[in-house]
Amino acid sequence: MAEIVLFHHAQGVTPGIVALAEEFRSAGHIVHMPDLFDGNVFDTLGEGMAYAESIGFGEIVQRGVRAVEGLSNDLVYAGFSLGVLPAQCLAQTREGARGALLFHACVPAAEFGSGWPGGLPAQIHAMDADPFFVGDGDIDAARAIAAGADDVKLFLYPGDRHLFSDRSLADHDAAATETMMRRSIDFLKNHPVGSHR
């Protein structure tokens, strides 16, 4: 069993994000799902990103940091797109992190320190022609992290959809999501509770 903190994407805590959290719970894991948007849910990615920009990306990361205060250090941090910012920050900087699951986004490890911490396992999942993941350079950051760490795996799925794992959105790809979740749950099984640092 793992304890996971799952951060939502820029459209908020959608029904699809809730469903993904429930899938992890059904596999036997504890899932915390902070709402970084104070209950706001957006119909489009553009609206959600505009709201995120009005808050400030630094504040979104800090909301994520505050959300885990009082929780165990022995956590896996998971983030979807925008939610990768707090998830990756905490995985790299909070003592005792078990691992990271980064979906649809990745930032250079240097954003949160000197580099990816040794011994910190992670998976990164995205589509190989996602215009955001590829066009914004996330794929380069993901490849660099995976190349420098034995226990970080990058999984690319055929297609050009961004939030493909959210079944409540038009971008949803059921087959890719099924494979992504199987790999993610296997990751949690293969990394038993206990700090890797």
Predicted local confidence at residue 114, as pLDDT: 83
Within-domain flag for 36: yes
Domain of residue 137 covers 3-190
List the one residue out of 181, 182, 124, 184 whose CA is nearest residue 156. 124
Predicted local confidence at residue 191, as pLDDT: 66
Tell me phi and psi for residue 42, to 5 degrees: -120, 145
Predicted local confidence at residue 113, as pLDDT: 87
Residues in the chain with pLDDT < 70?
191-197
- In the block, which residue shows the tokens 């930032």? 107
Q: Report the number of distinct structural domains present in the chain.
A: 1
List the one residue out of 81, 83, 74, 106 whose CA is nearest residue 33. 83
Residue 7 sits in a domain of what CATH number?
A: 3.40.50.1820
HSE toward the beta carbon, residue 138, CA cutoff 13 A: 28
Residue 124: strand pairing partners? 102, 154
Predicted local confidence at residue 1, as pLDDT: 87
Predicted local confidence at residue 192, as pLDDT: 54
HSE toward the beta carbon, residue 79, CA cutoff 13 A: 25
List the one residue out of 81, 73, 69, 74 whose CA is nearest residue 34. 69
Predicted model pTM: 0.95
Within-domain flag for 196: no
